[in-house]
Amino acid sequence: MSRRPSSWEHEERRNARIRELREQREGPVRRRRRIQPLLLLAWIAGTIALLGVLIFLGFNVFFAPRVMAWVEENPGAIEHGIVQDFVKWYAPEELADEPASTEHRRVTIQVESGATDTSIGQMLFDQGLIKSRVAFQYAIIQAGREGTLPVGVFDLSPTLKPSEIVAALQGQEFAPTTTVTIREGLRLEEVVAAFAQSEMTMNMEEFAAILEAPPAEILNEFDFLADLPAGRSLEGYIPPDTYEFEISGDRGSPTFIVRDLLTQFEQSFTQEIRDGIAAKGLTIDEAIIIASIVEREAVVEEERPLIASVYINRFLNPDNTQTVGLLNADPTLQYGLTTGEYRPVGHPLLGDATGGLPVDEWGSVDWWPQLQVGGGEVALDEALLGFQTYTQPGLPPMPIAAPRISSLAAVASAPLEDGYLFFVAGCPGGTRDGSHYFSRTNGEHEALVAQAREECAGQ
């Protein structure tokens, strides 16, 4: 027999059921209430992040480029700190003190009266001398030169940094240097071209003018120039070597460079060489003229004194019936031909060279072409007839190239007693090696010429 639950048990079960139902009903509500604040926070954070992204993209994609374009059009604006800070943050490369290129070329600019820093920067940019007008303006500010750039004509290079261009425009000295190599046997026009193709910022027209017509104050500084004929250039007195010069400033000016080159000549022109020249009855200028011809003729170092002796013997013995004072030097013909053809501006023997070859084009010429006819058939202008050493006795009117010191020493030590009057290039063993055969008489010379032709057949 079963027992019926008491009223107390029934009440207890009913209450338990109520609690169970209440928990089932209220449980999800409580869980939803715990999760709801987290969702709200996540939504707020996402909204803020999205807003930040939109602001960032809007500033960088739309606003900042427009600000930067405005700065580029108004580079003077970087005088203001907030603009500088913006550029340093957004486009720091625009302020970099870097050259426009590695191209070694000379660009002449003229800063007119009334030019502003901005207009000068635009001119430099248009000429390819700077790659950022803002960087140039920044270099001016860094140097404290706002509004002080002078008027004048300046030779600059795209290899210069903006700070160096500012210094060059101010005529200031700065540390950067460059090397310039003057090869042996170059004439003055080629020497100028070597400097023009370097990073030097000096005015090349002024440099060429000093070399072609050196002022008295320079001539008076060096005793070896004391007897230089009036109106003569410094042709032959610029010693071949590799030099290091400051790119700009006073120590990179035309006058300083010319003085430095002449000082180098003076230091290498030893007393021994001077004495040897005097002992042969030559003036310094005559010795340099002969040395310049030797430089263009000699290939084998040991032959320099022998080649020098041939020219000296011919020059000092004009009564010799075999040579009658004629040098018969092909390099002098080459010099006369190209001088007459191109008529380089400022050449001392050409007088008014208006319309002649400008300095900027001197580096584009082959100044030493092969002769197309026999030496005696080469026709030269009347003003240059002295370089026709097949028909005109004596030395040409001036040196024809820059001789190395060994060629000048060869003149001083030339063995005149050997009596050589002739030489011809040979091909010993069938190889053209730059050597020559030397002889004392015309008969010996003709025999050696025939031998050389046979040896060099096919060379």
Closest CA to 143 of 172, 105, 179: 172
Average model confidence (pLDDT) across the chain: 85
Determine the Cα–Cα distance for residues 59 and 384; give it in Å rounded to an integer. Answer: 72
Task: Please say if the pLDDT value at position 87 is more than 90.
Answer: no
Kindly report the number of other CB atoms within 10 A of residue 442's CB atom.
13
Task: Please say if the pLDDT value at position 141 is more than 60.
Answer: yes
C-alpha dihedral sign at 359, 364, 370, 374 = negative
Determine the Cα–Cα distance for residues 238 and 225; give it in Å rounded to an integer. Answer: 12
Determine the Cα–Cα distance for residues 330 and 333; give it in Å rounded to an integer. Answer: 5
164, two tokens = 């160096």
Predicted pLDDT at 299: 93
More confident site: 90 or 436: 436
Max Cα separation, the chain? 172
Task: Please say if the pLDDT value at position 164 is more than 90.
Answer: no
Task: Please say if the pLDDT value at position 62 is more than 60.
Answer: no
More confident site: 317 or 146: 317
405, two tokens = 């010191």
Categorize the per-residue pLDDT at 24 as very low, low, confident or very high, splitting at 50, 70 and 90.
Answer: low
Determine the Cα–Cα distance for residues 130 and 32; give it in Å rounded to an integer. Answer: 67
Q: First CA to last CA across the chain, in angstroms?
A: 143
Task: Please say if the pLDDT value at position 420 is more than 90.
Answer: yes
The residue ranges of every structural domain in the chain are 188-420
Task: Please say if the pLDDT value at position 46 is more than 80.
Answer: no
Predicted pLDDT at 63: 59
Task: Please say if the pLDDT value at position 383 is more than 60.
Answer: yes
pLDDT digits (tens, 9 = 90+) for 170-210: 766 555 788 999 999 999 999 999 999 998 888 999 999 99
Closest CA to 189 of 383, 401, 373: 401
Determine the Cα–Cα distance for residues 235 and 291; give it in Å rounded to an integer. Answer: 12
Q: Which helix (H) or strand (E) holds 181?
A: strand 177-182
Least confident of 86-90, 122-126, 431-435: 86-90
Predicted pLDDT at 32: 47
| pTM score, whole prediction | 0.68
Percent of the chain whose predicted confidence (pLDDT) is above 90 = 54
Determine the Cα–Cα distance for residues 443 and 299; give it in Å rounded to an integer. Answer: 25
Determine the Cα–Cα distance for residues 336 and 358; give it in Å rounded to an integer. Answer: 18
Three-state DSSP at 107 gives strand
Three-state DSSP at 241 gives strand
More confident site: 66 or 42: 66
Determine the Cα–Cα distance for residues 314 and 339; give it in Å rounded to an integer. Answer: 25
Name beta bridge partners: 108. 155
Sequence-distant (≥ 6) Cβ neighbours of residue 324 within 8 angstroms: 318, 393
